[in-house]
Amino acid sequence: MIVWAHRILGGEMFEEDREHLETAYQAATRPEVRDSPYIRRVLDKVDGWNIYLISEYAERTLLDAIQNERGPVERRAVVENVGAAVAVFHSLGLVHCDVHPANVLQVDGVWKLADLGSVTKHGEHITSRPPERYRDFFPTDVDFGSPAEYRIDNYGLERLDAILAGE
């Protein structure tokens, strides 16, 4: 089995990065999330001087597929799968807070939502948001400290759909 290992090295940004990976691991190990066929599975976490988060290997990101046109992208499959993944989080009272093309991955031919490090309980304050280059996948009136709302994920999903539709 081929896996992907996200490694965080000890250093200046270590604690912030550690929290991000711990949030991802905690979200990923919830049974509903772990069992979803549309959320990239986290297989293990190794925590020591360096931290490793071991996940399913992905062939490509949606961003790569869009930018480099590496094979067809089935709009309906992406939107349905990411929508189903978002629904899992919302059913648990959680908001993914990071839906954008770099976090949608193709794993064994299936489009899945990934990067669970920004998952936040609905209504709690957001402590992270997508990088500036993905800011248009986040509502303009939402920023650090804003309450996590389901509409954040829905907005990102709508933007994915629009891009895949060529809008």
Q: Which domains does the chain have, with CATH numbers?
A: 3-55 (no CATH), 58-164 (1.10.510.10)
128 or 91, higher pLDDT: 91
**Would you say residue 13 has pLDDT above 70?**
no
User: pLDDT tens across 48-62, in order?
Assistant: 777 888 999 999 999
**Would you say residue 12 has pLDDT above 60?**
no
Please answer whether residues 24 and 119 qualify as being in contact, where contact means their C-beta atoms are separated by less than 8 angstroms. Answer: yes
> What is the spatial order of strands in the sheet that 104-107 belongs to?
60-61, 104-107, 110-113
User: pLDDT tens across 110-153, in order?
Assistant: 999 999 999 999 999 998 766 778 889 999 998 888 999 999 99
Start-to-end Cα distance in the chain: 38
DSSP state of 147: B
CB count in 10 Å sphere of residue 22: 15
Please answer whether residues 156 and 83 qualify as being in contact, where contact means their C-beta atoms are separated by less than 8 angstroms. Answer: no
